[in-house]
Amino acid sequence: MRILLALLLALTFLASGLTACEQSPEAPSREPPGPSSETPDPEVQVAIQALGDESEDVREAAFEALVNIGPEAVPALIQAMREDENEEVRWAAATVLGEIEPEAVEAIPALIQTLEEDEDKWVRLAAAEVLGEMGPDAVLAIPALIQALGDESAEVRAYVAQALGWIGPEARGAVPALIQALGDESGEVRGHAAMALGLIGPEAVEAVPALIQAMGDEEAPVRSAAAASLGAIGPSAAAAVPTLTQALGDEDEFVRRAAALALGFIGPAAVEAVPTLAQALDDEDWEVREVAALALNMIGPPAVDAVPALIRALADENDNVRTSAAWALQSITGQNFGQDPNIWQQWWAEQQ
């Protein structure tokens, strides 16, 4: 199930064009770290200064050098991110910390401070992205990230929503704010907010009505993200079945794919969608056909009315569709006749 959920969310990231955008150790103290008592490594200092060089080649070499130095560079990078007068250096320092994580977990308080206080939107964006990349380790940042959903920059708000999603179920306290973000004026923010709710998963069940409404968004990436998130919430999102069923006829193939798989994750409670999923086995897009078969597979025996359509799908020109149809037939009927449509047809006729 976890693998399928990952596939569902990955599918929607690809579909929407959204930029991506074991137990965790105990969260660090909120107090920003003070100056390091250690003498800064001259190599680190030189590399940090070079992050603001006019030459792109020099900046790239410095970036790579700091990443290679790794955790030993973290204290100096924190200081540069908080104090350097050059916004390019502050942005690059935050970005390097993201490349070093999870060893850079000590930077979380400073990243929070940067998100809250830096005057440059690109530096704030980088801080939000790095906090998201740290996942559940960054749980301490959730209040600041919620606050930053009101940032004046749409780009920052989008990355903040993404970060909350990457933190995962531990960010369930952000669900009301993410629901509000589904009404943001920026489609990118709305899409990332929808995706974040899906990454939080079943803990975001209160968002189901708002996600159903987002299925009517004018932008396809938002609709596909909303569909995927309803699937990630699972059976508790059964109220979305009529809307998801209607979305199987969406003009955008990525929305149709996400809607079909979401119905599968809702499971037997999505039985009313079976006739439309059976029709989707004839969709012009082979990936929609494949996902429709997967959805019928996950619905299981209640999808018995789709058996004739699945038998026809065994003759599909695409091997993935044929394979998925065979799996669905086995799941629904308990029989295993492989991919031979003639044997399946004979068996089905005998059942009538």
pLDDT in tens, 71-115: 999 999 999 999 999 999 999 999 999 999 788 899 999 999 999
Tell me the whole-structure pTM to 2 decimals: 0.87
- For residue 30, what pLDDT is reported? 34
Q: How far apart are CA 169 and CA 69, in angstroms?
A: 33
What whole-number distance in Å separates Cα of residue 141 and Cα of residue 105?
A: 12
- The whole-number pLDDT of residue 38 equals 53
Architecture of the structural domain at 1-20+116-247? Alpha Horseshoe (1.25)
pLDDT of residue 247: 98
* pLDDT surpassing 50 at residue 33: no
Chain centroid to CA 270: 23
Homologous superfamily of 255-352 in CATH?
Leucine-rich Repeat Variant (1.25.10.10)
Q: What's the average model confidence in pLDDT over 277-289?
A: 97
Spatial neighbors of 75 by CB under 8 A, at least 6 apart, are 33, 36, 38, 40
Do 255-352 and 1-20+116-247 have the same topology in CATH?
yes
- DSSP letters, 11-46, are HHHHHHT-----PPPPPPPSSPP---SSPPPHHHHH
- Nearest alpha-carbon partner for 80 in 97, 100, 65: 97
Q: Which has the higher per-residue pLDDT, 13 or 27?
A: 13
Structure-block tokens of residue 316: 């599909």
Task: Retrieve residue 50's tokens.
Answer: 């070079």
Give residue limits of the domains in the chain. 1-20+116-247, 255-352
pLDDT score, position 18: 53
**Residue 36 scores a pLDDT above 70:** no
Residues in CB range of 218: below 8 A, 6 or more apart: 187
